[in-house]
Amino acid sequence: MTNVCNNRVERSSFSFFLQQTCKQYSGAEHKMQHPFLSFCALLLVCLATPTAGASDSPWLVRFHCENIENGKGGKAFFDVEVHPKWAPKGAARFQEMVDTQFFRNVKFFRVIKNFMAQFGISGNPEVARKWREKKIRDDPVTQSNKRGFISFATSGPNSRTTQLFINFGDNSNLDGMGFAPFAKVARGMDVVDQINDKYGEGAPRGRGPSQGKIQAEGNAYLDAEFSDLTFISRVEVLQGQDGRHSLSETADL
């Protein structure tokens, strides 16, 4: 995001300046003996070390949804609190998806009552194809798949891409299968409960959409055959990664 990128440019420029300054003091007879050179070396090490607060602090995202209330066309939002320390790789992938506006018009294609709501396949087949190859390695499971907690779906070890699910209830049985929560619904779980579940399990086991067809045909397939699916109209960062609001300021949004 903008602030993070600007900080990286400033840090890189200053690091370059220090490196050039150090070279002036690094003759063979003075190498690593001049006090200023030692100071420069120490400062460069500090600059190269990422700040924990910048990457590990929780941050807040708002999901604006349409077609809630089981396909009655309602609009509402829910807020997700991301915790990078819970599952760093999963949180980083989620941030990448938010930064690239991946979630726009993405649909909740597999919603099973009292179990979970699954989403995260792009409605654009070309975009879906590219992300399908961008697998990330597993995170240790440090949190339980409780009500409102969010994890990436997997098809086996080190296979996470973009599909996620929100737990409707206590699904702690998933913890031992490697599903690592990285976030939780901080506000609006009542909205999540209204995500359309009329289609239930996906094909071929249920009457819901086929994941293969979503990958191949995108929203054209879903709009034609599953028009009542709840979908995400847009996502916005409220607090944390871009610093636009504090948690207290978002409390009444």
Of the listed ranges 36-40, 135-139, 172-176, the least confidently predicted one is 36-40
The mean pLDDT of the chain is 81
pLDDT of residue 249: 35
Q: How confident is the model at residue 71 (pLDDT cuts 50, 70, 90)?
A: low
Q: Which residues fall within 8 angstroms of residue 197, CB to CB, at 6 or more apart?
A: 70, 111, 112, 113, 117
Task: Check residues 16 and 192 and name the one with the higher pLDDT.
Answer: 192
Instruction: Tell me the two tokens of residue 104.
Output: 């726009």
Scored b (16 or more CB within 10 A) or e, 136-166 reads: bebbebebebeebbbbbbbeeeeebbbbbbb
Q: Which secondary-structure segment (H or E) carries 42?
A: helix 35-48
Task: Check residues 233 and 15 and name the one with the higher pLDDT.
Answer: 233
Task: Check residues 247 and 225 and name the one with the higher pLDDT.
Answer: 225
Instruction: Tell me the two tokens of residue 160.
Output: 């996470």
Using left for φ > 0, alpha for ψ between -120 and 50, and beta otherwise, residue 145 falls in beta
Task: Check residues 19 and 129 and name the one with the higher pLDDT.
Answer: 129
| Range 201-215 average pLDDT | 94
Positive or negative, the CA dihedral 35, 37, 41, 47 is positive
Scored b (16 or more CB within 10 A) or e, 90-101 reads: bbbbbbebbeee
Please, are residues 75 and 82 in contact by the beta-carbon 8 Å criterion? Answer: no
231-239 and 183-187 strand pairing: unpaired
pLDDT of residue 55: 63
Please tell me the pTM assigned to this model: 0.74
118 vs 166: CA distance, rounded Å: 7
Looking at the DSSP bridge assignments, the partners of residue 202 are 208
